[in-house]
Amino acid sequence: MNADNFKINLNQNLWGLLLALLTLGTAEYFRLCTLYWFGIILSSLTSISFVVTLLAYTLNYWKGKMKK
């Protein structure tokens, strides 16, 4: 497998969710209380954003599919 053929294609919501979950995991691993609560809040907000975006993309896809 060549490195040129390997591409990660994620939208901003998924990158934010990944960063929030990494923050949460780091906080749990090192037992950092403030970072833990920041990670909880950040992951909650990015999860909500991800779900809303996923629903919007899905509805848009099905609207286009039904027009054909």
State mean pLDDT over 1-25: 85
The DSSP line for the chain is --GGG------HHHHHHHHHHHHHHHHHHHT-HHHHHHHHHHHHHHHHHHHHHHHHHHHHHHHHHHH-
What's residue 1's pLDDT?
A: 59
**Domain interval for residue 18:** 13-67
4 part of a folded domain: no
41 part of a folded domain: yes
- How many structural domains is the chain composed of? 1
1 part of a folded domain: no
Please determine, for residue 61, whether its predicted confidence score (pLDDT) is greater than 70.
yes
State the pTM of this model: 0.78
